[in-house]
Amino acid sequence: MTLSPRAETMRRRISNPLAFWFWLLVKLPAAWWCGVRLREISTGHCVTSVPYGWRSQNPFRSTYFAALAMAAEMSTGALVLLAAEDAGVPMSTLIIDMKASYGKKAAGRATFRCDGGEAVFRALAEAKASGEARTVALETVGRLDDGTEVARFSFTWSARMRSTPASG
């Protein structure tokens, strides 16, 4: 799938580590503080990570569940933002449901991968074409460097075109 020029510009910007770091600092300071990073993004998938360290750990010497949730949400949310930019119209997006399961203790860098890009782009294109809200459920799986699964999240996103204010 080919992105619109605006969406491709956005993808390149957020793929730049320094630009993404600054964007996190301004827009999502808690994720910035915990060290959430965008590793890779395309129209098909998104990969994010969060380190295990003093800023993201809990008293049990593992990554705090909220830090894992931030990285997991980012792996789905970045795809939603990219698809909204590609739609070319103002879109309103919102998480309407979230489910999580935690497996092994995350005592190392957790990397989340969401492969739902195609579904996101399709749902937002349908929302643009119909003018009606659409939902899309996205799953992301977090793994340690050795491949051990530490968490699995499902986020359901709702998207609709923003209404334009009436002229008076």
Question: Rounded to two decimals, what is the model's pTM?
Answer: 0.90
Non-local (6+) Cβ contacts of 168 within 8 A are: none
5-161 has which fold?
Thiol Ester Dehydrase; Chain A (3.10.129)
Sequence ranges of the domains in the chain: 5-161
In sequence order, which ranges of the chain are alpha helices (DSSP H)? 5-15, 17-27, 29-34, 65-87, 117-130
Residue 161's identity, in one-letter code, is M
pLDDT-based confidence at residue 89 (cuts at 50, 70, 90):
confident
Residues 6+ apart with CB under 8 A from 73: 95, 98, 153, 155
Over residues 138-153, the pLDDT tens digits come to 999 999 999 999 999 9
What is the tens place of the pLDDT at every residue in 112-132?
999 999 999 999 999 999 989
